[in-house]
């Protein structure tokens, strides 16, 4: 219970967005950023002079958000079409980005779908939550790695950052069930919340493996729980109650963006490579759970995902 309270009703933050350094000259991608904590993340990055790509599915929604943020900050984010539930779209999105940019300083793997109807699958037939939240972000990151690594050579501290928005819900997943990533009896037995938790556990495992494989090439990879945030994440909420909870209990999006902005921009966070941060902007060594910290599990998931994207490289 204490653990639940510490994660979901955390103490007041000691770090604030006023401490974000000037980001002029930095190129940043934020996935799923036309709404919620992604949009607020973009707002803060723009205020601190970064060049920000809003990588989202809908051009129409992106343009509305870009307009709104321009009115607030005077700066304009750039739309990048990305549909994480289709590996072919991920590939063309990266090609599009690389036509415009040669550098990438920060990648926010922020997008997420939660507790989606169970009959929904990705274009390649994966469970929608695993396929979008975990596998889609894996492929996006791997395709951007050469650019991230070459950018690291040019930065003052020879580092770039990849930040993965996971969730406390990873505790709903005692271990990854590889046979539930596609349709079948193993998946049918799991609840939407367990499948969501599994996709969020996948974010942490992937982040940790990235850190262990690429830290010597300047990659800093950090995962985190943003806090229990009021957002569109529960828009597919299974019951009226979840939808009501979403509005009644949870913290506002400004706070939800705080921990990932901290991970991505605070100078001291380069020490948290392969670590998981808790709200608000804290490192709690007992998080995430032990299975998720197991290097065998991280390697297993990486190798599985590597195989899945082979045909799209």
Ligand X SMILES: *[C@@H]1O[C@H](CO)[C@@H](O)[C@H](O)[C@H]1NC(C)=O
Residues in the chain: 313
Establish whether 166 is a catalytic residue: yes
Q: For residues 174-213, which are near ligand X according to CB under 6 A?
A: none
Which among 22-30, 80-88, 165-173, 255-263 is the span making contact with ligand X, rule CB under 6 A? 80-88
Separation CA 111–CA 204 (nearest Å): 14
- DSSP secondary structure code for residue 79 in this structure: E
Which uninterrupted H or E stretch holds 100? helix 87-100
Within the chain, strands assigned E span 27-31, 51-56, 78-81, 106-109, 160-165, 219-224, 276-278, 282-283
| Smallest gap from residue 127 Cβ to ligand X (A) | 12
Q: For residues 105-124, which are near ligand X according to CB under 6 A?
A: 122-123
**Taking Cα atoms as reference points, which of 46, 40, 44, 39 lies closest to residue 24?**
46
Which among 81-89, 136-144, 178-186, 224-232 is the span making contact with ligand X, rule CB under 6 A? 81-89
**Taking Cα atoms as reference points, which of 141, 50, 109, 157 lies closest to residue 260?**
109
Residue closer to ligand X by CB (options 85, 273) is 85
CA 5 to centroid of chain Cα atoms: 23
Residue closer to ligand X by CB (options 116, 273) is 116
Size of the site for ligand X (CB under 6 A): 7
Contact status: 57 vs ligand X (CB under 6 A): yes
Catalytically annotated residue among 93, 166, 180, 228: 166
Two structure tokens written together for 114: 């939660």
| Smallest gap from residue 81 Cβ to ligand X (A) | 8
| Smallest gap from residue 206 Cβ to ligand X (A) | 21
Residue closer to ligand X by CB (options 124, 215) is 124
Catalytically annotated residue among 51, 159, 200, 275: 200
**Taking Cα atoms as reference points, which of 100, 90, 199 lies closest to residue 143?**
90
Separation CA 101–CA 213 (nearest Å): 25
| Smallest gap from residue 302 Cβ to ligand X (A) | 24
List interacting residues with ligand X (CB under 6 A): 57-58, 83, 85-86, 122-123
Catalytic residues: 166, 196, 200
């Amino acid at each position: 219970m204490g653990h639940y309270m510490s994660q979901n009703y955390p103490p007041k933050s000691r770090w604030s967005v006023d401490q974000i350094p000037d980001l002029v000259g930095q190129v940043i991608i934020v996935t799923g950023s036309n709404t919620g904590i992604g949009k607020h993340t973009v707002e803060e990055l723009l205020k601190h002079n970064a060049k920000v790509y809003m990588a989202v599915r809908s051009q129409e929604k992106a343009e509305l958000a870009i307009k709104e943020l321009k009115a607030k900050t005077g700066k304009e984010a750039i739309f990048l079409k990305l549909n994480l539930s289709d590996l072919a779209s991920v590939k063309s999105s990266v090609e599009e980005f690389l036509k415009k940019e040669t550098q990438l300083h920060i990648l926010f793997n922020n997008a997420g779908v939660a507790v989606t109807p169970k009959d929904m699958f990705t274009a390649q037939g994966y469970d929608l939550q695993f396929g979008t939240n975990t596998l889609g972000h894996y492929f996006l990151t791997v395709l951007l790695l050469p650019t991230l690594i070459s950018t690291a050579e040019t930065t003052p501290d020879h580092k770039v950052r990849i930040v993965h928005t996971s969730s406390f819900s990873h505790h709903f997943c005692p271990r990854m069930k590889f046979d539930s990533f596609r349709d079948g009896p193993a998946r049918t037995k799991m609840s939407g919340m367990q499948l969501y938790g599994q996709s969020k556990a996948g974010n942490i495992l992937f982040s940790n493996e990235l850190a262990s494989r690429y830290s010597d090439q300047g990659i800093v990879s950090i995962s985190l729980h943003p806090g229990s945030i009021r957002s569109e994440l529960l828009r597919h909420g299974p019951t009226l109650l979840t939808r009501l909870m979403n509005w009644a209990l949870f913290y506002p999006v400004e706070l939800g963006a705080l921990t990932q902005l901290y991970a991505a921009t605070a100078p001291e966070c380069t020490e948290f490579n392969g670590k998981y941060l808790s709200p608000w902007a804290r490192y709690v060594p007992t998080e995430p759970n032990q299975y998720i910290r197991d290097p065998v599990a991280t390697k297993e998931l990486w190798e599985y995902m590597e195989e899945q994207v082979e045909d799209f490289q």
